[in-house]
Structure 1
């Protein structure tokens, strides 16, 4: 969901945490996938969620994807759901990678996993590589191009006919908004022992401003952001859209709001800059409001009740970082970067209230 580094940087192939290579090799051979014995799987460096490994096989490189070690929250890191989405969506939206295999036998690697095609490319997280920026200076501002491309990918996704591609029964679209608000409100109360005043105020605001009407559901990614789009390193055209384990049918404006919850602007409060997720505060990226307007034009949708969705998505992000902090506090990780997430999550609660008041888009 949130990331710290590019997926294209990988650890040494000598270290493969999360895989039992003997059992994996035997299982894959039964499905006519033969690992190259001279090249051990390489773990992609990623964020705090699913684990991804590059497999070298006789038929070419593939990616194995599995949940992180330890307990998995209900509904999260769902490999079966992701495999279904990839299998159904790839034929009608080629930007989605092709799935090759799904395994729910826990004896193989200790968790369900899927195998899918590998598409190399550039992944942009917190920063844009300096050589990429330099190569674009004479053409146009890199952020202008990337901002438009991100929005058009999202709009194209929301235009997919879910029923026609076999995903019409995915999730529970009826009551999606109410259920999403209720779910994140419950997680928020569990994430803090003593609810901060800003959290109480934010939850009260959401209760008072819940939309009275619903729009037609679409396929939504549910964690759509720049580093889930692998780009051509030279042209910056999207090559693939990844991380589908939370995909569902729901309100498309929630998908847009989740994207904009990561979208930092230069004049934002410190908490938004401490997210370190997307480089949108510079390089000529459109503002959040401009990005939303681009989406409205591309999709033909009215942004009714959009402030509500912005606040809900900001609450979601605050809760995620507080959950990560609690994991650090309880000894579940020794990553020192997690120590700052308590302040960050509280800062996001405060920012959510500022969005609710109209101080920020």
Structure 2
């Protein structure tokens, strides 16, 4: 397994490199200079590019072209989370700069440092059983580490709406199921009914 490699930018997802270069010159002087742009494959929520600028490798994130669902493509939210998380959980990349001016690249965007890593995709060759076990253990442990972060200490207490979260999730997903179901599935119906009677207690805000 090898770290994710960027590829040529997909047709229709190019942006104005000169405009970005001018913006960087005034906002992030250490990243001034010619920019070589490539793009990471897959990933449909937001577009992710690799910028080679001299000795620097920087990742740029922006919404898909034509996106209209702001809550699903909130660059300022992503940038704020990274900015607050990185000092207390260094596994996340360092956030470098955020631009909310759509005249630069057509939409808000932000920059972060590149962190090399492996992304397991459907077309990847499956690892052996021992490696898969280590991956799964690390996956669960990483989530546990994130959940242990002090939300208030990290400055993320206003990130979401923790009050009533369990109720919103149970009611919301139950409603989505009933709206989408074509044929009854008794096990799901029993689960929904059980959750309605036995909702887990609220435990406070957590990532």
Q: TM-score, normalised by structure 1?
A: 0.50
Q: Judging changes above 3 Å, is the alpha-carbon distance between structure 1 residues 201 and 144 closer, same or farther for their aligned structure 2 residues?
A: closer
Q: Judging changes above 3 Å, is the alpha-carbon distance between structure 1 residues 40 and 182 closer, same or farther for their aligned structure 2 residues?
A: farther
Unaligned runs of 5+ in 1: 1-5, 221-361
Alignment match of 1:125 (pick from 121, 128, 131): 121
Q: Give the structure 1 partner of residue 157 of structure 2.
A: 168
**How many Å apart are 1:183 and its aligned residue?**
4.1
Aligned counterparts of 1:199 and 1:20: Cα–Cα separation in 2: 50
Contact kept in structure 2, 1:7 and 1:45, CA below 8 Å = no
**How many Å apart are 1:156 and its aligned residue?**
0.6
Q: Give the structure 2 partner of residue 215 of structure 1.
A: 202
Q: Give the structure 2 partner of residue 34 of structure 1.
A: 31
Unaligned runs of 5+ in 2: none
Residues 87-98 of structure 1 aligned to structure 2 (within 5 Å): 87-98=83-94
Aligned counterparts of 1:30 and 1:200: Cα–Cα separation in 2: 61
Q: Give the structure 2 partner of residue 54 of structure 1.
A: 50
SS in 1 for 2:87: coil
Contact kept in structure 1, 2:151 and 2:206, CA below 8 Å = yes
Aligned counterparts of 1:40 and 1:27: Cα–Cα separation in 2: 15
Contact kept in structure 2, 1:42 and 1:54, CA below 8 Å = yes
Q: Give the structure 2 partner of residue 110 of structure 1.
A: 106
CA-atom RMSD in angstroms:
3.1
| Corresponding position: 1:83 with 2:79 | yes
Q: Judging changes above 3 Å, is the alpha-carbon distance between structure 1 residues 14 and 208 closer, same or farther for their aligned structure 2 residues?
A: closer
Aligned counterparts of 2:104 and 2:61: Cα–Cα separation in 1: 13
Aligned counterparts of 1:201 and 1:144: Cα–Cα separation in 2: 29
Residues 256-271 of structure 1 aligned to structure 2 (within 5 Å): none
**How many Å apart are 1:26 and its aligned residue?**
1.4
Q: TM-score, normalised by structure 2?
A: 0.82
**How many Å apart are 1:77 and its aligned residue?**
2.1
SS in 1 for 2:18: helix
More deviation, 165-174/180-189: 180-189
Contact kept in structure 1, 2:157 and 2:205, CA below 8 Å = no
Aligned counterparts of 2:188 and 2:94: Cα–Cα separation in 1: 40
Aligned counterparts of 2:153 and 2:113: Cα–Cα separation in 1: 23
SS in 2 for 1:8: coil
**How many Å apart are 1:98 and its aligned residue?**
0.7
- Aligned pairs, number: 204
Q: Judging changes above 3 Å, is the alpha-carbon distance between structure 1 residues 81 and 187 closer, same or farther for their aligned structure 2 residues?
A: farther
**How many Å apart are 1:216 and its aligned residue?**
1.7
Aligned counterparts of 1:185 and 1:68: Cα–Cα separation in 2: 30
Q: Judging changes above 3 Å, is the alpha-carbon distance between structure 1 residues 88 and 49 closer, same or farther for their aligned structure 2 residues?
A: same
Aligned counterparts of 1:57 and 1:70: Cα–Cα separation in 2: 27
Q: Give the structure 2 partner of residue 196 of structure 1.
A: 182
Q: Give the structure 2 partner of residue 157 of structure 1.
A: 146
Aligned counterparts of 2:157 and 2:40: Cα–Cα separation in 1: 32
Contact kept in structure 2, 1:35 and 1:57, CA below 8 Å = yes
Q: Judging changes above 3 Å, is the alpha-carbon distance between structure 1 residues 149 and 66 closer, same or farther for their aligned structure 2 residues?
A: same
Q: Give the structure 1 partner of residue 20 of structure 2.
A: 24
